[in-house]
A and B are shown apart, each in its own frame.
Chain A
Amino acid sequence: MLIQFLINGIILGAIYSSLALGFSLVYNTTKIFHIAYAVLYMIAGYFLYTFFNQLGLSFIIATFLSILSTVFISIIIELVVYRTLIKKNASLNVLLISSLGVMIIIINSIALFYGNETKIIHNDIAKSIRFNDIIITYPQLHQVFFSSFFLILFFILNKYARLGIKIRALSNDAELAKVQGLDIPKMRIKLFALSGFFAALSGVLVAQDIGIDPYIGLPMLLNAVVAVIIGGLGRFSATVLGGFILGILQALVIWEFSANWQEAITFGVLILFLIFRPQGILGNKTREV
């Protein structure tokens, strides 16, 4: 049984990792606490539901279109909300609250349009593979495989492509990057696109497994944020590590206690980290300015 829980934890961790990576892409570079990111995760599932279940497109095309549409919405949020606010020299708290406002608007628009109840993408029982008493379903296999695939792709990109170097430059020192002639507005569009991609990826992967309702985004985002903090701010590899650690930890909590206490323990761990190791597991100690 323990091994089954550990495997579930790793699968959950893969989802947290890619979700957390998308969040930290924006957070590390722009310092915006992008709460509206939660609805990107949720809305990707609704796009999938619309394209696949309502319009009857093939699953692959529906998934592709869902991710594309979500990326588009991510860019719209940057252009319409954040860019306008930054032009007005808004403080980070103002950005956070506008982001919260955007989240509330989108969640409730979706609820108005699709209803509050859970929508299921696949009605039939998922096929699974078994080794002795360990069961892994196909949707779970997809979750691990595609999350890991795109995470690895991102790390290769981050290390070797020019975009990766620019991202690192921007997260190190935005002013300096600007002075060096980096086109920040253009760069930010790419960042929000990439971030939207990871939200959409985890969104569709989870939606096809367990379905969607309008309120799934925020709890998942909060888990992703905890993963970012315990992994360590500023490094993408740390974020991914945090995601897997959190996934395994939550699975162990369910194994040892019950699912009821999962949230309390997750946020207990967050607070312990904030107090004793605010730089996270892999983070470098930064001095207060």
Chain B
Amino acid sequence: MEYIIHILIIINIYIVLTVSANLLVGLANLLSLGQAAFYGIGAYLTALALMQFGLPLIPALLFSMLITGLIAFLLGYISIKFEGDYFVLATLGFQIIIYSILYNWITVTKGPYGIPGIPAPKLLNSFKIDSIYLFLILSSILMGITVSIFYKLIHSPFGRVLKAMKDDKIALISLGRNVTRLKIITFVLAASFAALSGFLYATYISYIDPTSFNLDESIFIVSAVLIGGTGNLKGPILGAVFVVILPEILRFVGLPDSIAANLRMIIYGLSLVLLMLYRPQGIAGTNKI
């Protein structure tokens, strides 16, 4: 039972990651390879808020999301000036720089040793979210809030303008829309919600180290979105469920861990190539990238 709950919590964390990455990749056509960096910044800020400042749950979460959003604003301000491959490269560059800072700035982040013993978040100073059941409830609530915010967003004028920007940017500019501002807002939103995932991850696992937030993780998040599908919410949610459940299925089949890890990456890679060939919008998506 605890095993299933664990899987469900991880799925919740990944849904938040893919739904927010979808806003960038699927709707705004900004292929960012830096989402894991914001996920990581969120996780480290959570550790800071809980361990150094002793903040309760909601302020700690808001602190982590706001500061990550602020950092994303600065990086986004630089990155979104670039188009196509240059945008990919800029976000990839920031990803590697941030990873490198988390890894090497040992006095602040403890580098490769990681930060152990992140305490369970407290609600209202007394009620501790310290059991796996309570954590499932917390993560489901936060996931639910995230998904409904993004549902509202996609179906709002903002979402429609984003889709329009992907289809015809010049027409949109000529209609008086500020495309740059639109892109920055998208970038900041996606980063802040990646930080929410980071909050859930840090408080649930209670140990963080930089290797969970490297370039491979960024590629992994984008792959999950692209496999599941881009443009709507069904797609990224399906993608998150797929990437979390597949390794468990391989474990049940009885493959040894050493083979299973590589085999599952081969399956992801193959799904990416085949989908790009036959269904560029992903399994359940609507927007072709």
Contact = CB atoms under 8 A, between A and B. Distances in A.
Whether A associates with B in a native complex is: yes
Interface of A: 33, 81, 84-85, 88, 90-94, 96-98, 100-105, 107-109, 111-112, 218, 222, 225, 229, 260-261, 263-264, 267-268, 270-271, 274-275, 278
Contacts of B78: 271, 275
Nearest to B104: A260
Interface residues on B, range: 35 or more
Interface of B: 29, 31, 78, 81-82, 84-86, 88-90, 92-94, 96-97, 100-101, 103-104, 215, 219, 222-223, 226, 259, 262-263, 265-266, 268-273, 276-277, 280, 288-289
B270 A101 contact: yes
B89 A274 contact: yes
Nearest to B278: A88
Contact of B88 (A33, A104, A229, A278): A33
Contacts of A109: 262, 266
A97 B289 contact: yes
Contacts of B31: 93, 96-97
Contacts of B100: 260-261, 263-264, 267
Given A94-B289, A109-B266, A112-B263, A85 B277 contact: yes
Contacts, number: 116
A100 B272 contact: yes
Given A102-B269, A108-B266, A267-B94, 8 more contacts: A81-B273, A91-B288, A92-B84, A101-B268, A109-B262, A112-B262, A267-B92, A274-B90
Contacts of A92: 84-85
Given A222-B92, A271-B94, A103 B277 contact: no
Contact of A274 (B29, B86, B96, B280): B86
A112 B159 CA distance: 43
B276 A104 contact: no
Nearest to A271: B93
A97 B89 contact: no
A84 B270 CA distance: 15
A96 B266 contact: no
Contacts of B29: 93
Contacts of B219: 100, 104
Given A94-B276, A94-B280, A97-B272, A104 B266 contact: yes
A88 B219 CA distance: 24
30 contacts: A33-B85, A33-B88, A81-B273, A85-B277, A91-B280, A91-B288, A92-B84, A93-B289, A94-B288, A94-B289, A97-B31, A97-B226, A97-B272, A98-B276, A100-B219, A101-B269, A101-B272, A104-B219, A104-B268, A108-B262, A112-B263, A222-B96, A264-B100, A264-B101, A267-B92, A267-B94, A267-B97, A267-B100, A274-B93, A275-B78
Contacts of B84: 92-93
B276 A90 contact: yes
Contacts of B215: 218
A53 B72 CA distance: 49
Given A112-B263, A274-B82, A98 B97 contact: no
Contacts of B103: 260
